[in-house]
Amino acid sequence: MTPLQACLLVSAFLFAIGFAGAVTRRHAILVLIGIELMLNAANLNFIAFWRFGPHPEALAGIMFVLFSMALAGAEAAVGLALVIAIYRHKKTSNLDEVKDLKG
Amino acid sequence: MSPALIITAIVTILAAATVMSLRNLVHCALAMAITFSGIAAIYLQLSAEFVGFAEILVYVGAIAILIVFAILLTRSGESPEKSVLTSGWGAGIVVSVLVFTALGWAVLNSAGLPKAATAAPETTVKNIGEALMGKFILPLEIVGLVLTAAMIGAVIIALKEDPKTDNSGRKS
């Protein structure tokens, strides 16, 4: 197994575990954590392909990861604000009980 | 493949599995910080030092703290008595196992992946800064705009509602 394949396998596992958490856990914050894990798996793929690809001097992989980190930060801030707003409105953050948008 | 890469990969995978299997949310957030540190260590070994340190700053420093604050603000720090899984969790597990099998099969059997390890590329902070200020200047400006909009949006969404202007007509 080459180092590239090892990195891709680690990132595939991170993606699968993040997906499993996002669809099976009941708490809204854990769903956000699962999404962050999936984004990190994608970032790891970018870095692995940049490092072992044919043109690492072009820095495209690093730039993609930096921009995706900034977008992940924005997404986490808005997502957690939504969780807090829903908790204030419905007094729960259990996703099975939050079924409608209309309060 | 170096032993350090194997060890950090195993730590990262175990921490990621811990995040999704613990019941207490605060413990989940701590395991998430360990996962992000492991990913940063993998970045450092792949000679992407700037991205590794940015990962520590952004994820371990900012997002983990933000998530801990959200856990405490929604009073979900204690372990729940009921089940922590949603009603249809079996299908979710099956789909994620299928996703991992498909991705792993593709990675292990793909003929197009480069076989030989190339020499470590020269990436200094100066190179990254010149690329950000030259070729990637437009995406950088747009990301700045997106971050500003997200910050204002997050503040407005989480702002405490005024009871007099409650649009559902109830006094809270």
A26-61 confidence digits (pLDDT tens): 888 999 999 999 999 999 999 999 988 888 888 889
Domain of residue B39, CATH code? 1.20.120.1200
The pair of structure tokens assigned to B90 is 């079996």
Q: Are A21 and A37 in contact (CB under 8 A)?
A: yes
Q: Would the pLDDT of B172 be above 60?
A: no
pTM for the model: 0.89
Using the Cβ of B132 and the Cβ atoms of chain A, whether some distance falls under 8 Å is answered with: yes
In whole angstroms, what is the distance from residue A94 CA to residue A22 CA? 13
Closest CB to A62: pick one of B6, B51, B143: B51
In whole angstroms, what is the distance from residue A7 CA to residue B38 CA? 12
Using the Cβ of B31 and the Cβ atoms of chain A, whether some distance falls under 8 Å is answered with: no
State whether B2 and B73 are in the same domain.
Answer: yes
In a domain, B22, yes or no: yes
Q: Would the pLDDT of B169 be above 60?
A: no
Classify B142 as helix, strand or coil.
helix
**From the CA of B67, how many Å to the nearest CA of chain A?**
7
B15-32 confidence digits (pLDDT tens): 999 998 888 889 999 999
Using the Cβ of B105 and the Cβ atoms of chain A, whether some distance falls under 8 Å is answered with: no
What is the set of domains in chain A, with CATH numbers? 3-90 (1.10.287.3510)
In a domain, B157, yes or no: yes
State whether B68 and B132 are in the same domain.
Answer: no
The pair of structure tokens assigned to B106 is 């593709």
Exposure on the CB side of residue A83, measured as CA atoms within 13 A: 28
In a domain, B108, yes or no: no
Chain A positions touching B99 (Cβ under 8 A) are: 12, 15-16, 19
Q: Which domain holds residue B41?
A: 1-78
Q: Note the residue count of chain B.
A: 172
Residue B27: what residue type?
Answer: H
Q: Is residue B166 very low, low, confident or very high in pLDDT (cuts 50, 70, 90)?
A: low
The pair of structure tokens assigned to B128 is 């990254």
Which residues does residue B85 pair with via DSSP β-bridges, in sequence order? A25
Closest CB to B20: pick one of A17, A52, A83: A17
What's the number of domains chain B is made of? 2
In whole angstroms, what is the distance from residue B15 CA to residue B11 CA? 6
Which residue of B lies nearest to A57 if distances are taken between CA atoms? Answer: B121
State whether B14 and B66 are in the same domain.
Answer: yes
In a domain, B141, yes or no: yes
The label of the residue with tokens 């730590």 reads B11
In a domain, B23, yes or no: yes
Average per-residue pLDDT for chain A: 89
In a domain, B49, yes or no: yes
**From the CA of A97, how many Å to the nearest CA of chain B?**
10
In a domain, B69, yes or no: yes
In a domain, B102, yes or no: no
